[in-house]
Structure 1
Amino acid sequence: MRRDGHSFYSVDVRKTPRLNAILERVNDTRSVDVSDLAGALGVSEATIRRDLQSLSRSGLLVRTHGGAVANDRDGELPTQIKAVRRHTEKGRIGLAAAASIPDGAVIGMTGGTTMLELARALADRRNIAIVTNAVNIGAELIGRPGVHLVVIGGVARPSAELVGPAAEAMLANYHLDMAFIGVDGLTAEHGCTTYDEMEAQTDRAFLQRASRAVVLADHSKLGVVRFAQITPLASIDQVVTDRDADPAQLATLRAAGVHVDVV
């Protein structure tokens, strides 16, 4: 909750594709203009002004005279905003990753909206064990008859992940056949990166407990470096991304010896 009483989560962008489109443009261009948005989205400038005001009240952008700019309070969007961004691509990635998991496997899953799509793809599987630190993934899978679910505890992050020493201590009790992690940045030079150092450390613990390490990342994460390194690329066996990925970025990953699936 912000000091002015407005929650960062008060705008339900899932029900408003126009707001999501505005946030996409702000994220990509860092600033937007009312008249440009009105023309691009086919609505009046008055409608755009109301949209920007609503998003500004929720802390998702900063209103300016004639438009708005990105709110870089920490660079990380709330999970519910991320959930509607590139949803189709994330769904394909989740389905492809699920197809690679054999029956009887024990898998680890960190948080993130792409990881949530993997969880949904696994919901009706039988004879599979899932260890996760993400409360939204746990909520998605709890009660599924074919899934043995373990949710580890820790300090709650805006990403819906539970991280820190408590999470890592609990992870030490398990061996994982495969670990699937989401990232906020992925390059051949800097490996897997994210916004928060404690989250990075817990993600690293998942990889250390696994026989095979797989990164799920939509194309917007490739070529990007964030604050905290999770692991160098040499620790990753496979990357699953979508077909809008930059071919040059794919080439650098493959040249580093990582198996890359494009779906």
Structure 2
Amino acid sequence: MSLAPRQQNILDLVRERGYVSIEELAQHFAVTPQTIRRDINQLAESGLLRRYHGGAAHDSSVENTAYTMRAGQMRDEKRRIAEAVAAQVPDHASLFINIGTTTEAIAHALLNHRSLKIITNNLHVANILSAKEDFEVLIAGGSVRSDGGVVGQATADFIKQFKVDYALVGISGIDEDGTLLDFNYQEVRVSQAIFENARKVFLAADSSKFGRSAMIRLGSLEQIDVLFTESQPDEAFTRLLSQFKVRLEIA
């Protein structure tokens, strides 16, 4: 495909940074947001980048976007999803919360709850929720990553000691056949232990996760009780949710 100079520069910036917002690109190239949206649409239709609400990203099936980039992506959508998840969690409940920027938003949304017991392998989640005196927060041991995630066999073994009311989980990608995907096999082993030891599993996934590729198989939508997202999935995903009897909550 022959690209216009601005489109090539957009592609180079997105590949370099992982994610760039429409506002940033419009300012950088001194054009309107509408012009940038047209460029992004053309690049996305050619499979050169991935279009998101408010920006564009370069997705890889073998490496996740950097944490700082993920934290800035779809922030308002994650907040809405987090509030919807928190609204379904009663006071005095026990919870698993795994790694991810969406689950960190959920942690903030839970701060108005009372007497929660939380087991997590996310240092950011532990830091947010430990501020509440009536919460009990247990942090799993293991190897600490730069994004605050704790992973490894010791982490999975710690999780397996518990049986909790709810697992509040995020995911990197959901394949078209309903497979839940992630990038790190150690993280996946911990998330699998979380799925297996919760009475109900709530999956929080913004619309960018539908159809996104990642190379490690975590599980299936069939293991999920409720899926929280911010917009209606396409018809194929909606059929899958119905087939697997997953309740859909649109934030």
TM-score range, shorter-chain basis?
0.7 to 0.9
Q: Separation in 2 of the partners of 1:220 and 1:184?
A: 9
Q: Separation in 2 of the partners of 1:118 and 1:171?
A: 19
2:174 corresponding residue in structure 1: 186
CA RMSD of aligned residues (A): 3.0
1:89 corresponding residue in structure 2: 77
Q: How does 1:84-123 map to 2 (within 5 A)?
A: 84-123=72-111
> Which 10-residue stretch deviates more, 147-156 or 245-254?
245-254
Q: Separation in 2 of the partners of 1:113 and 1:181?
A: 10
Q: How does 1:10-49 map to 2 (within 5 A)?
A: 23=14, 38-40=29-31
Contact 1:132 1:150 in 2 (8 A): yes
Q: Separation in 2 of the partners of 1:246 and 1:71?
A: 20
Q: How does 1:240-255 map to 2 (within 5 A)?
A: 240-243=228-231, 245-255=233-243
- Partner SS for 2:203: strand
Q: Separation in 1 of the partners of 2:158 and 2:207?
A: 32
2:134 corresponding residue in structure 1: 146
How many Å apart are 1:247 and its aligned residue?
Answer: 4.5
1:197 corresponding residue in structure 2: 185
Contact 1:89 1:218 in 2 (8 A): yes
Q: 1:79 and 2:47 equivalent? A: no
Q: TM (normalized to structure 2)?
A: 0.75
What amino acid does structure 2 have at the position aligned with 1:210?
A: A
Q: Separation in 2 of the partners of 1:177 and 1:113?
A: 22
The unaligned stretches of length 5 or more in structure 2 are: 1-12, 34-56
Q: Indicate the structure whose relative CO is greater, using CA pairs within 8 Å and at least 6 residues apart.
A: 2
What amino acid does structure 1 have at the position aligned with 2:144?
A: A
1:214 corresponding residue in structure 2: 202
How many Å apart are 1:248 and its aligned residue?
Answer: 3.8
Contact 2:61 2:215 in 1 (8 A): no
The change in CA–CA distance for 1:241 and 1:73 in structure 2 (over 3 A counts) is: closer
Equivalent pairs: percent with the same residue?
Answer: 23
1:59 corresponding residue in structure 2: none
What amino acid does structure 2 have at the position aligned with 1:121?
A: A
How many Å apart are 1:101 and its aligned residue?
Answer: 0.5
Q: Separation in 2 of the partners of 1:98 and 1:251?
A: 26
Contact 1:79 1:160 in 2 (8 A): no
What amino acid does structure 1 have at the position aligned with 2:231?
A: R
Q: Separation in 2 of the partners of 1:91 and 1:35?
A: 25
The unaligned stretches of length 5 or more in structure 1 are: 1-21, 43-68
Q: 1:166 and 2:154 equivalent? A: yes
Count of aligned positions: 213
Q: Separation in 1 of the partners of 2:26 and 2:103?
A: 36
Contact 1:154 1:162 in 2 (8 A): yes
Q: Separation in 2 of the partners of 1:246 and 1:127?
A: 38
> Which 10-residue stretch deviates more, 210-219 or 147-156?
147-156
Moved over 3 A (4+): 22-29, 34-37, 39-42, 69-74, 244-248
Q: TM (normalized to structure 1)?
A: 0.72
How many Å apart are 1:78 and its aligned residue?
Answer: 2.1
- Partner SS for 2:180: strand
